[in-house]
Structure 1
């Protein structure tokens, strides 16, 4: 169990300048999310004390969290409340400052280990490489100047790892900041929870952005070649999850998702198929999450909420869906209070990194140009993605021009290359067009 003691560090001397006991602060709240390593902490203390005088912007607050890790927070704001002579301190995980800690220039990093990649990212910063869990080599191409924080996120994605940022304190000395990369944060609790339609104290959240019932996978090969699974999948560039289709189809139509592996070189259709099946499971897993209040965690989940750590995994069987939905659900976000644990709240589910739509558009551009035979819904979704990107790029002329050209290309493809795939038990006899209609037996 954490001690509740907070250490304040002077950002210039790196010395601990005050220690705040748990009895000397209140209204504390830590909000964390595994995705993007979001971690914020705010608390209230009495004004006019020696400790309050050290709570200045840019100073650090070191806090031990439930997993035993000491998290370094940088103070972003200190708000004095005049009517009760208190100070509210707002702080964020200190690693946000890595976004301004340097520039990594465009380059190709060939065949390096995760340790070598992390060392490249942290060169010239205050952070050191900590514990890593990976064996193997990967290659990365950096196309434009990026900051160390972005590179660390890209490295974690490349090696399929999760980042833990932590500080070390020995005695009363702040001795360093470390970046760990591990396969999975948290523990396997080994508990299965069944949830029905009556979700007392639990909020079910369906993440419509993540829901997909059919997944199209593709990789850019040499030159203009596009690698898909068509050659080993009855001529179809996508795979289907039938249970997901029954749960989430709209008027019998699939919800299509697009997938390009980030890390694969010299990929084959068979390897792409394996990766697509894994990705499809992930997308089903990220389709629903559950927000649970502290008092319901014990009653419904049979867990002591004070013992839940970031990333802990349980299994959920949700009978509120037809067919039933089986999920491996992790604690992916939480609000925690050391002083008042009954304020605790957690989100169980899984997550996918949000993809920059401009980046997604660039990947899809090759697929559009290759004029893969696809059905109307696929091209509709490409078109929608283009329009969304065009809206976001209004302030950047080059992006707007690029989006416009791609949008025009999509419209051209819609016109010239749409293949209508009819899924039915019996062969269709109406509205057939030579070379433009395919029948898929279901």
Structure 2
């Protein structure tokens, strides 16, 4: 691999997709990604009543499956999906995990079926329905729609404003920015990890870290796998399949949005190589695997994409390393509990920067492609996507819900297809 091979290499990256870091650097860079995704990945099972170690295990295995399916060409991490939470909570209450597991498998199989269809008939339609004027605002929405989550993590304690929490978040943000801007060499690749460590130390000093779970945790703890057909008498749960399978079409739009961001960061077109069918296949098989071992469905994580944007370390080896650590730590109770003890303001402070990085890359797409906002068409498409997505608009029909990101993507695609290139008042006589 040479620097002159611009088709396969992004010279702006410190480590490009196929670049392999030294062993010592690999360890630290991978742990940085592990810390970044850990909070969200274990939060989902906690909200629905599952074992967090199972979610950690399934996310690591799912990420490795994704890397295998995409021929190790796409740097992405797959963690627990938030899109299914409401439905999974209902299924857990009425039927228990067996129903959730079948729903996760059904959702994953929807991905697999769509991937097979795209493999057969191609994905050229992606460029037609997702031009820069649609992609840019969608990427902005992906970043800014998470702003409320970052703010709540940074400021709230038990749903109440807490100045101590906010101070820790601002300190974490400040030191991360300083590390990112003023450090050189290897240290410039790990500003997120350094920021988390410094924020954690301050959180310990001000007394907002709870070590009780660390003290109670065992060094070795086997995750409570709930493999289908082993821990209970198998039976079908049609309600789970019917309610969770359609949500896969919603998460697909978010999946494609994340691939768009990665395209921009790495200066590649992953829709064509290795192909959209491979990215969907990897995502789908990851959820199928999660359903079999007892975890929630998985999806690609914006937090880790934010780390890629900030550090310019795009190596798939680093993401694979994070996946391996997730699997290992799922068996080490003390380490899992220690990472889980990182308080929310530390994660919130980091998120201010990470989610903003994602949104900024959406603006770069518009600028780099010289989208003409003197045309009313472009203004209309961008305006609708931004307000629908950032405003938190959603459509709910029973247990089926279109999130703001999915709904804004749908509106953008429709407007792009139906609006003329020029308004009547802009046409030349």
Q: Per the shorter chain, which TM-score range? A: under 0.3
TM-score w.r.t. the length of structure 2 is: 0.24
Q: Normalized per residue, which structure has more strand?
A: 1
- The structure with the greater share of residues assigned to helix is 2
User: Which of these two proteins has the greater Rg computed from alpha carbons?
Assistant: 1
